């Protein structure tokens, strides 16, 4: 396969991961594995959360695809693993750094899309139990939050 095909696989996997993450968040994290995810909704003392275990749960398939793909010269599997890893890096930056401010970087923005992401996540966290919820994704947000963010943007008011 050519390099462009592998790049396509990486990008496609990245976007597919949004649907995978949404599904796992809604049905697994807010379902059978709520015991790991609950401390993310009800803040407890300390820097780490049980919810951080999901970093490893998502990293294992990425690592396996990359490792086994390299061992058996299955470079499409390596590309899939790289797409999963790329999504994980973006997830960490957007979710843990930008939204939850676990590190005090990226604190202020007037970008409407980023503010819409932050709003959708805030709406998700208003539900403290596992049964109710909305906005389970990270990068795709309901258009109503994007429209609201555009209306209140300082950039568009100039």
Spatial separation of the C-alpha atoms in residues 5 and 79, rounded to whole Å: 9
Quote the Cα angle for 29-56-104, to 5°.
85
Higher pLDDT, 105 or 86: 86
Q: 157 pLDDT band (50/70/90 cuts)?
A: low
Cα 94 off chain centre by: 7
Domain ranges of the chain: 3-151
| pLDDT at 103 (0 to 100) | 87
| pLDDT of 31 higher than 80 | yes
| pLDDT tens, residue by residue, 100-139 | 998 888 888 889 999 999 999 999 998 888 877 899 998 9
Name which of 63, 41, 59, 60 is nearest 51 in CA terms.
Answer: 41
| pLDDT tens, residue by residue, 52-83 | 999 999 999 999 999 999 999 999 999 999 99
> Contact at 8 Å (CB) between 148 and 119?
yes
Average pLDDT, the chain: 92
Q: Which two tokens stand for residue 13?
A: 């996997």
| pLDDT of 158 higher than 70 | no
| pLDDT at 156 (0 to 100) | 53
| pLDDT of 13 higher than 80 | yes
Mean pLDDT of the region 19-33: 95
| pLDDT at 105 (0 to 100) | 83
């Amino acid at each position: 396969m050519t390099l462009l095909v592998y790049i396509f696989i990486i990008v496609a996997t990245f976007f597919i991961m949004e649907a995978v993450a949404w599904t796992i968040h809604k049905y697994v994290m807010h379902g059978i594995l709520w015991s790991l995810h609950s401390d993310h909704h009800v803040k407890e003392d300390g820097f780490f959360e049980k919810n951080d275990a999901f970093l490893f749960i998502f990293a294992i398939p990425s690592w396996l695809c990359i490792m086994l793909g390299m061992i058996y010269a299955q470079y499409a599997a390596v590309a899939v693993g790289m797409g999963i890893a790329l999504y994980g890096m973006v997830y960490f930056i957007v979710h843990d750094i930008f939204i939850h401010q676990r590190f005090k970087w990226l604190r202020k923005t007037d970008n409407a899309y980023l503010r819409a992401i932050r709003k959708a996540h805030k709406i998700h966290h208003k539900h403290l139990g596992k049964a109710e919820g909305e906005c389970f994704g990270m990068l795709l947000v309901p258009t109503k939050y994007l429209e609201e963010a555009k209306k209140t943007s300082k950039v568009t008011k100039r």
